[in-house]
Amino acid sequence: MIHKALGYWIHEAGPQPGFPGLQGDQDFDVIVVGGGFTGLWSAFHLKTAVPELKVGLLESHRIGHGPSGRNGGFVDAMWVSFASLVKRYSSEPALRLARASEQSVRQVGQFCEEHEVDAWYRLSGYLNVSTAPAQDGTWAGNLKAMREAGIIDGPHELTAARVQEICASPAFRGGVHYGVAATVQPARLAFGIRDACAALGVELFENSPAIRIEDGPGGVLVETPGGRVRAQKLILSNGPALAGRGSPLSGAVTLASSHMVITEPVPEVIEELGWTGGEAISDCRALLTYFRTTPDGRIAFGWGGGRIAAGGRRFGRAELDAEVIEGVITGLKRYFPMLADRQLEYAWGGPIDASPTHLPHVVALPSGRAFAAFGYTGNGVGPSQMVGRTLASLVLERDDEYSSLPFIEPASALTRVPPEPFRWVGGAMIREAIGRKEEAEWAGGRPDPISSAIARIPELIGFHIGR
Ligand SMILES: Cc1cc2nc3c(=O)[nH]c(=O)nc-3n(C[C@H](O)[C@H](O)[C@H](O)COP(=O)(O)OP(=O)(O)OC[C@H]3O[C@@H](n4cnc5c(N)ncnc54)[C@H](O)[C@@H]3O)c2cc1C
């Protein structure tokens, strides 16, 4: 098994063209910092809306090589988090946001079609399954919130027998099915948006980290090791880096990580499981396990149980963690014991920008010239397209459905996380306790009372863990 930070999808997408680093002084109307889905979609929608706008994008490494090119490829709408949306924003704004996110799932597919991007987009639905008695019915609150908001044709509950028809894992119990959800090959998608941006005239710079940002009265100044950019507007789309030291939003993000493996082609196993519909599936744990198939018959399997990173450090164990990969493999074999002797070809991981609400937020910084989006908490692939539209609308000062979505909040309204070192120490302790509790539940036993009590701390202080 090859265990590298960049993982399988970037390898599968093949060699990519390089883009120059920023050199000297340059002026732009809008400068985007970060070349993942959020930054790429923002630049794409800005340039599509106003072709004469001068838009530049700075990426510290290679475009699409961060979490955007390494994730599970689940393109989900935010219905999965509907109860949390209602709790934070109330029913009508929550409905607008969930509907926009559903549209976003479809718009990703439309983009692929219109721009002939072969990102393996497949609108095949998402299944959230219980794999232990403690997980049974954990979706009930979410479905109730939807019914109360008048949604009658939304996701529906599935019996254990129906779940078995979709995917006959011996570990699966009942579940719930969300119809508007897709899977993609995420690196192919990221590179496709990059190419569409380049074709529209967005100036792309790689190996150009923003090392100093000044948001002053006359505009924005961004410095990289090779040059400086002056711009009227700034989009901060550097995701997990916003949890790090010096970020204006570090008090609102914790850095966790997620890790994955992918099997050799096992089409006969997928056939035997009856899992031929391409559904994306996850369990209902707080430290979520997620899995999907690929067109060439592989199973990609991930676990959001990576460590909390001290000080928001994005590299090291946030990307490469052999112990966590062992945990991923244990999960894979539990859910799919028939894969015990099959080869795992790649393992990888990446940082996760976790917000205390588990929801993404779009923030206007005090000058009114700079905007940031972050906090997807492992669920950014579908929503980032809608977030890109939102950031474009805010930059263009447009009054439209995107610039009025409720997740646009002043920085002062964000739920704060404790400062370091309490964030790291507390986060690690809670993660360990949730892990022990979920392990005991999986084994059919009762979790020890101390782990259960610690696992409840986030809920008691108003933080949401899990989907
Ligand atoms: C293993 C794994 C599995 C996941 N699975 C899923 C999934 O199945 N579905 C889902 O919805 N989400 C999933 N996620 C989360 C998803 O990948 C993210 O929510 C999404 O990619 C966020 O996109 P982004 O553009 O905001 O951030 P990123 O992809 O992190 O992009 C930010 C970019 O900014 C760059 N950058 C950082 N600092 C600077 C700087 N100073 N200057 C310039 N550039 C900078 C980084 O190099 C990076 O390329 C997963 C994540 C991981 C790690």
Give the residue extent of every domain in the chain.
2-413, 422-460
Query: What is the pLDDT averaged over residues 131-152?
Result: 94
User: Positive or negative CA dihedral for 310, 315, 319, 320?
Assistant: negative
Residue written as tokens 């790291």? 424
Strand pairing category for 227-236 and 219-223: antiparallel
Question: Are the beta carbons of 349 and 199 closer than 8 angstroms?
Answer: no
Q: What percent of the chain has pLDDT over 70?
A: 100
Quick check: helix, strand or coil at residue 145? Answer: helix
pLDDT tens-digit profile of 294-349? 999 999 999 998 888 877 788 888 999 999 999 999 999 999 999 999 999 999 99
Residue nearest to atom 51 of ligand 1 (CA): 71
Which ranges of 245-382 does DSSP label H, i.e. alpha helix? 267-273, 322-335
314 Cα nearest atom in ligand 1: 37
Quick check: helix, strand or coil at residue 354? Answer: strand
258 Cα nearest atom in ligand 1: 1
- Residue 465: pLDDT above 80? no
Query: What is the pLDDT averaged over residues 153-171?
Result: 95
With 0-12 CB in 10 A as exposed, 13-18 as middle and 19+ as buried, what is 93?
A: middle
CATH class in words for 2-413: alpha beta
7 C-alpha to center of ligand 1: Å?
A: 14
Among candidate residues 378, 390, 24, the one with its CA nearest the CA of residue 235: 390
Q: Which residues have C-beta within 8 Å of that of residue 327, sequence separation ≥ 6? A: 259, 303, 305
Quick check: helix, strand or coil at residue 467? Answer: coil
244 C-alpha to center of ligand 1: Å?
A: 14
Residues with CB under 6 A from ligand 1: 33-39, 58-61, 66-68, 70-74, 76, 209-210, 237-241, 258-260, 290, 302, 349-350, 352, 376, 378-382, 384
Confidence of residue 467 (pLDDT cuts 50, 70, 90): low
